[in-house]
Structure formats: structure tokens, C-alpha cells
Amino acid sequence: MKNKPRFEFEEKDVNAWRGEDPEAEKAKKVEASTYDAKDTRITKTVRMRMRYGEFLRDQAHARTVEKGSKVSEADVLDEIMQEYIVNHKLHA
């Protein structure tokens, strides 16, 4: 009975193969850890009137077409909320 051929493979650095720089990855992690946690997005389930939901959908679509890249309903809502907070001098 023949023996199966033995292949010896070098263990290669996967990050180097992918073209990633390990030092750049460390810098990204440090930068992300110092990121302001208040700007982190969370998921909230909110009941709203149908017309507001349709408005968000339509605005997201119109801005996506205008900008040429995806604008979500959450992005539109962020802008609206920020404008409301500034106009009403609320603290956020």
C-alpha cells in the first residue's frame, strides 16, 4: 500500500497575504476605543404616525438619489433630531 504524499506548508502571515498592516489595525482599535460613546448608534423601536414613516422613507430615497450613495431613514432622523435639539436649545 502506498503512503499518502506529505505536503509541508509554510505558515504564512494571513494579514500580510491580505495586504493588511498590523500596526494600522492597532491604531484603528485605539482610535475606536477613544470614540465618543454618545455618538454610537442604538436601535430603538418607536411608534409613529404613518405619515412620519412615509416622510422618512421618501426623504431617504430623495437624498440617496441626490447624493448618489445610500442615505438611510436613520440618517434622516439623526439630522432632524439634531436640528430640533439645536433650534430648541436642548442639551444632547
Q: What is the pLDDT of residues 64-86, one digit of tens each?
A: 999 999 999 999 999 999 999 98
Single pTM value for the model: 0.56
User: Where do the domains of the chain lie?
Assistant: 44-92
Low-confidence ranges of the chain (pLDDT < 70): 1, 9-37, 92
Are the C-beta atoms of 56 and 73 separated by less than 8 Å?
Answer: yes
**C-alpha 68 chain-centroid distance:** 18
| CA angle at 88 for the pair 86 and 92, rounded to the nearest 5° | 55
> Grid coordinates standing for 64?
440617496
